[in-house]
Amino acid sequence: MELLRLWSKSGKVQMDFLLTSGNRGIFDDEAAALGARLFYCPYGRGRLLQFAREFRAILREGNYDAIHDHQDYVSGWHFLLGWGVLPQVRVSHVHIARMHITTNYVVNPGRKLSTALGRGLLDRFATNVCGTSAAILREYGFEPGRTRRPGVSVAHCGFSVGRFSGSRDQNRMDILREFGWRQEAKLVLFTGRLDQAMEFDHPKNSKNSWFALNVVKLAAERDAQICLIMAGAGDEMRGKLAAVVAAWGLAQRLQLVGVRQDMPQLMRAADILFFPSRQEGLGMVAVEAQAAGLPVLASTAVPRECVVLPELCRFLPLNRPLEEWAETLLHITTKPRLPAVICRDAMQASPFSIENSAATLSTIYTRNTQRAD
């Protein structure tokens, strides 16, 4: 969406979306308003032939110069089904931690074979494999810097830096008023999909929301000014976690707020982003936090490639005691914020600004088109 917002201003790029879930999303109306066509084409084992027919028709009609697929090894299967009508440039982009794949091996042993075949199909059909970090590329078995096809390179996601930079005073007042918190409150922000189990080591717990809640509980018991905003999808789990928080007697201070559309405002208002993920492809929320001048406490499972302003980032191993996490969190909330202009300028010059990110992708697309010509 950030790319579409940028490229739609010039009108030089037509960008369409194929949604393999078949479901509408929160950005669909905006995408259509910016000139994109959206194709709802469910992909799954039960409708492979129908998907192939629909997919191939879209490719033929669109006469595209590039296809950019974000479903890691599954991209290979998509490219196979489009064989013969694929664009010259075929990019697979990996950004989701591989935990979800290895977990599925246990539930569905056949997934291991389909994954291996998908990897082989990428080698056959892709012109490029990109990753949101060098760490995630290596995790998927691709070495950054490979020049023979498929070429392998890091292509960071980008965003509009201006959305996150700016003065925090009004945003902070608005958030304090919304939740009925005092001016002295120290605001901890957690953002990410709520995990499926209230267990620290559950194989499907990626964002580590249960771990985060227990750390903030300890911090809140030691400092009466600590308040939490936990934003993220997962209505069923949010209800369960809210019941636990109420039993702790902390329901007013630890707020589970669901999906929010005002993340830049929340980041400017908060005092710390708490990001103890068990696995991340990069961790864009940590990058956005730095653009907002928000200090970050993350786990060492988050790739260090997310760091633009080292003075804003602190990492701890997940095997450290909860008490150490809580003490570190409390210490960070006492540190003064960096000036907004420093954060904005550093982020604008980084690979994460949408202008720089778009330039990286344009180079990939253009270079492959020239080779084909």
Q: Is the pLDDT of residue 370 over 70?
A: no
Q: Region 122-149: what's the mean pLDDT? A: 94
What local confidence, expressed as pLDDT, does residue 103 receive?
Answer: 55
Q: Which structure tokens are listed for 67?
A: 């296809």
Write down the pLDDT at residue 369.
57
Which comes out higher in pLDDT, residue 326 or 46?
326
Is 196:237 a contact under the CB 8 Å cutoff? Answer: yes
Mean pLDDT across the stretch 344-351? 97
Q: Label residue 373 by pLDDT band (50, 70, 90).
A: very low
Locate tokens 């039993």: which residue?
247
Q: Which CATH superfamily groups domain 2-160+351-372?
A: Glycogen Phosphorylase B; (3.40.50.2000)
Q: Are 21 and 28 in contact (CB under 8 A)?
A: no
Distance CA 122, CA 173 (A): 50
Measured CA angle at 1 (ends 56, 313), to 5 deg: 130
Type of residue at 105: Y
Q: State the sign of the Cα–Cα–Cα–Cα dihedral 336, 324, 229, 265.
A: positive
Mapped to the 3 state alphabet, what secondary structure does 269-299 carry?
HCCEEEECCCCCCCCHHHHHHHHCCCCEEEE
| pLDDT of 99 strictly over 70 | no
Cβ contact 215:276 at 8 Å: yes
For the chain, the 3-state helix, strand and coil shares in percent, each to the nearest 5, are 45, 15, 40
Residue type, 75: S
Q: What percent of the chain has pLDDT over 70?
A: 95
Using alpha carbons, list the distances in angstroms from residue 226 to 66, 130, 269, 286, 334.
49, 40, 14, 20, 11
Q: In whole angstroms, what is the distance from residue 174 CA to residue 330 CA?
A: 23
Q: How far is CA 10 from CA 34, 349, 365, in A?
A: 11, 22, 17
Whether the domain at 2-160+351-372 and the domain at 164-348 fall into the same CATH topology: yes
Whole-model pTM: value is 0.91
Q: In the chain, where are the structural domains located? A: 2-160+351-372, 164-348
pLDDT in tens, 266-285: 999 999 999 999 999 999 99
CATH of 164-348, one of 2.40.50.100, 3.30.70.1230, 3.90.700.10, 3.40.50.2000: 3.40.50.2000
CA distances from 136 to 98, 191, 252, 301 (A): 8, 21, 38, 11
Q: How far is CA 218 from the centre of its chain?
A: 27
Mean pLDDT value across residues 188-192: 96
- Mean pLDDT score of the chain, rounded to an integer? 93
Q: Which residues contact 359 (CB under 8 A, 6 or more apart)?
A: none
